[in-house]
Amino acid sequence: MARAGLQRCCRATRYSALALAVLLAACGDGGGVASTNSPNPPPSPPPKPTNDDLVGSLVSEAFVNDAKTQTAYQPITSAQPNTVTSKPLTIEYKASTQTYTIATQGRTQDFGPAQKDATLSNAEATVYKRSEGALTETLSLSTNTTDPGTPDAPLFRYVGAGLWQRTQTDGPNATTTMDYFTYGVPTPASAMPTTGTATFGVRLDGQAGYPQQNYVLTGGGRFQVDFASGGLVGSGTIDRYRNSLYEGTLNWTSQAKLKAGSTTFSGSFNFGARPGAIDGRFYGPHHEEFGAVWNTNLYDNVVASGTILGRDTATMPSNNGLANLVINEDLGGAAVAVSYGRSTRWDQQNLTTRSLYITYSETQKALTIRAGIDGYSGNPRALTPAIRDAAHSDATYDAYSVTAQASSLSAGTLRVSRPGPSNPLIALTYTGFGTSETVLAPSQSSTFPYTDFAYGFGEATPASAVPSSGSATYNGVILGYSGVPSDGNTRPYAISGDARMAYNFGAATLTGTLTPVATDRDTGTSYALGAYAFSGTGDAGKATFAGTFDKIINLPFSGDTRGSIKGQFTGPHAEEFYATWLIGMRDPKGGSNIPVGGVIVGKQGK
């Protein structure tokens, strides 16, 4: 789209104007002298149209840009190493012919509709191709859109990335020049803030010239920008591909500095300890995006270069509670599990806390789960509608058949709480919870094929957002499992009940009470276990807390214990929490002490 605006120094041409001069004469009588007035100044030339963004039809314009040229030789020799240079480049679009002209270092080429290659183009880029004898040239221009994308998959409106690649072959040898550039609608210097900070989700693309062929590089990460100091700090990962085959992941870091009074920046860009450089600028009317070119060394004689585009995450969608998840998010998690089996009687392996990781995947549009528990280890399992068990779902939980994704399980159901005010058990916004009961397949040959666990997860409160004064009371619920009852004829009890916790944010101390109820899952009989008081402290500089129970309980194989509570605040300002708990209970059937534990979830209330 086009706009009429102030001329910038980077524009390629200006309209010329027709100057007019008017001579006025005046006559006087009696030998007076003639006089003239100064001519009127010529009218200002009309402003040259420029582009508002890179979406849709463009008007003719020579774009502001930053560029780097990599020259790669195959094979590489010590006498002829690969190089990267930073030289001026021009990218000009001519609307009348819909043609891009690229020029740098004495080379010029036009790319128009006749060179557009439908086979090489895709949703992410438009590719133009020219071939003449042993020389092949392509121009790749990234696609622009008004859709902002997400922090892990940003999309761009005002800045684009380009690659002009020329490959000259000579028998088994090849020389490739790769002109990487970023271009677009630059941010006016007057629109750059001098205070505040911003986080940018970024996308990286590039190539590395290896001895026998080029590797394609693609990745992402984050840049933090401090407008007061002018500092930019970035980090992330980049994947390497050889002939479309994944060849590993590298970590990258970058530090740069804004030029005073400008929108441009420069600094370092590195893979590990290998030195490199980055040069770029901000784009969009209000610094919504940035574009930069980078280069670095991967190994001796192996250089890499490419582009990096960034978009302010404040312009993108964000998650607002578990009922409104739209972008990738690590939701943490913790679990307490018991594994058990039966030969002549029920016997348990243990009842302990287990690692558990819940995330939201924007590509799968579902929660994913991975845990250090049989049937849940390995790659995360997506809880998609395809495996939802409608027959066992209700207003409190969505149920999922985990056997659909785990061949090691012969039976298993995972229950995940439904967020929001309609949940009849407890209405939570930022915290989730649930249970799982699974059985390993006979092929696993396990002595303890049964595993039951309770878990919690949520949107963790930033440590800096935990209140530093005042206090709050949290009301919640507990769920979990016991160890195997002492009679050996009963499966572990299912545990439910209520919880209450008072937290003093000024002192970072907590007190509370659990009132668990144990239920025999075979008979449905429930047993109230009485009150379990606990106390503890907050973890300094974190949004977590820990505590123990007031009463000492002696457990077989463990001895005397006060148990443990370990919790995580959730919500923007510690509105909710989840925690694991472990202690002992008196078996209402066998009379012996057995372990018991699970999770607590709660929210601020009266």
In a shared domain, residues 281 and 381: no
279 and 353 in a common domain: no
31 part of a folded domain: no
Q: Which residues pair with 606 in a beta bridge?
A: none
Place of tokens 């600094």: 267
Statement: residue 468 has pLDDT above 60: yes
Asked if the structure places residue 53 within a domain, the reply is: no
Q: Which of 274, 291, 315 is at the close of a domain?
A: 315
CA 95, CA 553: separation in Å to the nearest integer? 81
Give the model confidence (pLDDT) of 541-554 as tens digits: 999 999 999 999 99
Q: Which residues pair with 304 in a beta bridge?
A: 208, 296
Say yes or no to pLDDT of 170 above 90. no
Q: Is 19 a member of any domain?
A: no
Burial class of residue 527 (count of CB atoms within 10 Å of its CB; 0-12, 13-18, 19+) = middle
Q: Which range marks the domain in which residue 482 is found? A: 322-605
| Domain count of the fold of the chain | 2
**487 and 570 together in one domain:** yes
Domain-located, residue 36: no
Q: Does 402 share its domain with 307?
A: no
**pLDDT tier for residue 74 given thresholds of 50, 70 and 90:** confident
Q: Is 14 exposed, middle or buried (0-12, 13-18, 19+ CB in 10 A)?
A: exposed
Q: Does a structural domain hold residue 48?
A: no
Q: Do residues 346 and 305 both lie within one domain?
A: no
Q: Are residues 82 and 172 in the same domain?
A: yes
Q: Are residues 357 and 293 in the same domain?
A: no
Q: What is the mean pLDDT of residues 102-125?
A: 96
Residue burial 231-256, b: 16+ Cβ < 10 Å; e: rest? bbebebebbbeeeeeeeeebebebeb
17 band by pLDDT with thresholds 50, 70 and 90: very low
Which residues have a Cβ under 8 Å from the Cβ of 339 and sit 6 or more positions away? 348, 349, 350, 374, 448, 450, 451
Tokens of 373: 């528990």
Residue 311 shares a structural domain with residue 356? no
Residues 6+ apart with CB under 8 A from 311: 148, 149, 154, 155, 156, 200, 201, 202, 288, 289
Are residues 486 and 415 both part of a single domain?
yes
Among residues 255, 288, 315, which one ends one of the domains? 315
* 508-565 confidence digits (pLDDT tens): 999 999 999 999 999 999 999 999 999 999 999 999 999 999 999 999 878 899 999 9
Q: What CATH number is associated with residue 176?
A: 2.40.160.90
Q: Are residues 361 and 233 in the same domain?
A: no
Q: What is the mean pLDDT of residues 230-248?
A: 95
Instruction: For residue 274, list its beta bridge partners.
Output: 271
- How is residue 157 written in tokens? 């409106």
Taking the alpha carbons of 376, 378, 383, 389 in that order, is the dihedral positive or negative?
A: negative
* Residue 258: pLDDT band with limits 50, 70, 90: very high
